Amino acid sequence: MTLSQFLEIMNGDLANEWTHLSFYLYHASAVAGLHAHEYKEFFTEAAKGEMAHVQGFLDRLHGLNYAQPCQGPKAFSYVSRLEDILTLAIKLEEDVVTNYTQRLKQLDDLAILHPETTAYLKVFYEDQIQDSYEDCEHMRRLVAYSARNLEPQKRGD
Protein backbone atom coordinates (compact mmCIF):
# COMPACT_ATOMS: atom_id res chain seq x y z
CA MET A 1 0.00 0.00 0.00
CA THR A 2 1.12 3.56 -0.76
CA LEU A 3 0.42 6.66 1.28
CA SER A 4 -1.97 7.95 -1.38
CA GLN A 5 -3.91 4.67 -1.26
CA PHE A 6 -4.10 5.01 2.51
CA LEU A 7 -5.45 8.56 2.14
CA GLU A 8 -8.23 7.20 -0.09
CA ILE A 9 -9.19 4.80 2.70
CA MET A 10 -8.96 7.64 5.18
CA ASN A 11 -11.32 9.69 3.07
CA GLY A 12 -13.81 6.78 3.31
CA ASP A 13 -13.38 6.90 7.07
CA LEU A 14 -14.19 10.62 6.93
CA ALA A 15 -17.43 9.82 5.06
CA ASN A 16 -18.26 7.43 7.88
CA GLU A 17 -17.58 10.07 10.55
CA TRP A 18 -19.91 12.47 8.70
CA THR A 19 -22.51 9.71 8.82
CA HIS A 20 -22.05 9.27 12.57
CA LEU A 21 -22.42 13.01 13.07
CA SER A 22 -25.67 13.03 11.09
CA PHE A 23 -26.93 9.88 12.81
CA TYR A 24 -26.58 11.33 16.32
CA LEU A 25 -27.87 14.77 15.36
CA TYR A 26 -30.89 13.27 13.61
CA HIS A 27 -31.69 10.92 16.47
CA ALA A 28 -31.33 13.65 19.08
CA SER A 29 -34.56 14.95 17.55
CA ALA A 30 -36.12 11.62 16.60
CA VAL A 31 -35.83 9.96 20.01
CA ALA A 32 -39.24 9.37 21.60
CA GLY A 33 -40.42 7.97 24.90
CA LEU A 34 -40.25 8.57 28.61
CA HIS A 35 -36.63 9.71 28.76
CA ALA A 36 -36.56 11.44 25.39
CA HIS A 37 -35.43 14.75 26.83
CA GLU A 38 -32.36 13.30 28.57
CA TYR A 39 -31.45 11.28 25.52
CA LYS A 40 -31.81 14.29 23.28
CA GLU A 41 -28.96 15.81 25.28
CA PHE A 42 -27.02 12.54 25.21
CA PHE A 43 -27.25 12.26 21.41
CA THR A 44 -26.52 15.96 20.93
CA GLU A 45 -23.32 15.50 22.96
CA ALA A 46 -22.46 12.45 20.85
CA ALA A 47 -22.98 14.56 17.70
CA LYS A 48 -20.56 17.17 19.09
CA GLY A 49 -17.98 14.43 19.61
CA GLU A 50 -18.48 13.29 16.02
CA MET A 51 -18.13 16.84 14.79
CA ALA A 52 -14.67 16.91 16.39
CA HIS A 53 -13.87 13.61 14.62
CA VAL A 54 -15.01 14.99 11.27
CA GLN A 55 -12.89 18.08 11.83
CA GLY A 56 -9.92 15.91 12.77
CA PHE A 57 -10.16 13.83 9.59
CA LEU A 58 -10.62 16.97 7.48
CA ASP A 59 -7.57 18.56 9.09
CA ARG A 60 -5.44 15.44 8.55
CA LEU A 61 -6.51 15.05 4.91
CA HIS A 62 -6.01 18.72 4.08
CA GLY A 63 -2.71 18.64 5.99
CA LEU A 64 -1.56 15.69 3.89
CA ASN A 65 -2.66 17.48 0.68
CA TYR A 66 -5.47 15.11 -0.16
CA ALA A 67 -7.23 16.78 -3.10
CA GLN A 68 -10.87 16.78 -2.09
CA PRO A 69 -11.91 15.38 1.30
CA CYS A 70 -15.46 14.03 1.55
CA GLN A 71 -18.08 16.71 2.16
CA GLY A 72 -20.99 14.88 3.74
CA PRO A 73 -22.67 11.75 5.11
CA LYS A 74 -24.00 8.57 3.53
CA ALA A 75 -27.61 7.46 4.05
CA PHE A 76 -28.31 5.82 7.41
CA SER A 77 -31.15 3.92 9.06
CA TYR A 78 -33.46 5.87 11.31
CA VAL A 79 -35.70 4.73 14.16
CA SER A 80 -37.31 6.46 17.13
CA ARG A 81 -37.37 3.89 19.93
CA LEU A 82 -34.51 4.54 22.30
CA GLU A 83 -33.31 0.93 22.43
CA ASP A 84 -33.32 0.75 18.63
CA ILE A 85 -31.31 3.95 18.33
CA LEU A 86 -28.79 2.71 20.87
CA THR A 87 -28.52 -0.66 19.15
CA LEU A 88 -27.81 1.01 15.80
CA ALA A 89 -25.34 3.38 17.44
CA ILE A 90 -23.48 0.51 19.12
CA LYS A 91 -23.16 -1.22 15.74
CA LEU A 92 -21.82 1.98 14.14
CA GLU A 93 -19.20 2.37 16.85
CA GLU A 94 -18.25 -1.32 16.83
CA ASP A 95 -17.61 -1.08 13.09
CA VAL A 96 -15.37 1.91 13.67
CA VAL A 97 -13.33 0.04 16.28
CA THR A 98 -12.91 -2.87 13.84
CA ASN A 99 -12.04 -0.60 10.90
CA TYR A 100 -9.56 1.54 12.79
CA THR A 101 -7.85 -1.48 14.33
CA GLN A 102 -7.32 -2.55 10.73
CA ARG A 103 -5.95 0.93 9.90
CA LEU A 104 -3.25 0.51 12.56
CA LYS A 105 -2.10 -2.68 10.81
CA GLN A 106 -2.20 -0.95 7.42
CA LEU A 107 -0.13 1.92 8.83
CA ASP A 108 2.49 -0.59 10.01
CA ASP A 109 2.97 -1.52 6.35
CA LEU A 110 3.62 2.13 5.47
CA ALA A 111 6.00 2.81 8.33
CA ILE A 112 9.23 2.00 6.44
CA LEU A 113 8.60 4.59 3.73
CA HIS A 114 6.88 7.24 5.88
CA PRO A 115 7.94 6.76 9.51
CA GLU A 116 6.87 10.16 10.91
CA THR A 117 3.55 10.42 9.08
CA THR A 118 2.55 6.89 10.00
CA ALA A 119 3.60 7.36 13.64
CA TYR A 120 1.42 10.46 13.76
CA LEU A 121 -1.54 8.81 12.03
CA LYS A 122 -1.36 5.85 14.40
CA VAL A 123 -1.78 8.19 17.38
CA PHE A 124 -4.67 9.86 15.56
CA TYR A 125 -6.42 6.52 14.88
CA GLU A 126 -5.71 5.26 18.40
CA ASP A 127 -7.56 8.27 19.81
CA GLN A 128 -10.50 7.51 17.52
CA ILE A 129 -10.52 3.86 18.65
CA GLN A 130 -10.52 4.96 22.27
CA ASP A 131 -13.52 7.27 21.75
CA SER A 132 -15.59 4.70 19.85
CA TYR A 133 -14.65 1.84 22.17
CA GLU A 134 -15.68 3.82 25.24
CA ASP A 135 -18.89 5.01 23.55
CA CYS A 136 -19.77 1.39 22.79
CA GLU A 137 -19.08 0.34 26.34
CA HIS A 138 -21.23 3.15 27.69
CA MET A 139 -24.15 2.51 25.32
CA ARG A 140 -24.10 -1.24 26.01
CA ARG A 141 -24.59 -0.41 29.68
CA LEU A 142 -27.48 1.94 28.81
CA VAL A 143 -29.18 -0.79 26.76
CA ALA A 144 -28.72 -3.32 29.56
CA TYR A 145 -30.06 -0.81 32.08
CA SER A 146 -33.12 0.13 30.04
CA ALA A 147 -33.87 -3.56 29.33
CA ARG A 148 -33.88 -4.21 33.09
CA ASN A 149 -36.06 -1.21 33.83
CA LEU A 150 -38.57 -1.36 31.01
CA GLU A 151 -39.37 -5.05 31.14
CA PRO A 152 -39.40 -6.09 34.81
CA GLN A 153 -42.65 -8.09 34.63
CA LYS A 154 -41.55 -10.18 31.67
CA ARG A 155 -38.49 -11.27 33.53
CA GLY A 156 -40.43 -12.02 36.70
CA ASP A 157 -38.38 -9.72 38.93
Site residues (CB under 5 A) for Fe ion?
17, 20, 50, 53
Give the helix, strand, coil percentages of the chain, each rounded to 5.
80, 0, 20
Q: How far is the CB of 76 from Fe ion (least distance, A)?
A: 11
**Shorter beta-carbon distance to Fe ion: residue 72 or 115:** 72
What is the H or E stretch that residue 11 is in? helix 3-30
Q: Which is nearer to Fe ion, 41 or 151 (CB)?
A: 41
Distance CA 137, CA 68 (A): 34
Residue number, 52 or 150, with CB nearest to Fe ion: 52
Question: Which amino acid, one-letter code, is at 51?
Answer: M
Minimum distance of Fe ion from residue 65's CB (angstroms) = 23
Q: In the complex, what is the shortest distance from the CB of residue 118 to Fe ion, in angstroms, rounded to a whole number?
A: 21
Amino acid letter, residue 7 = L
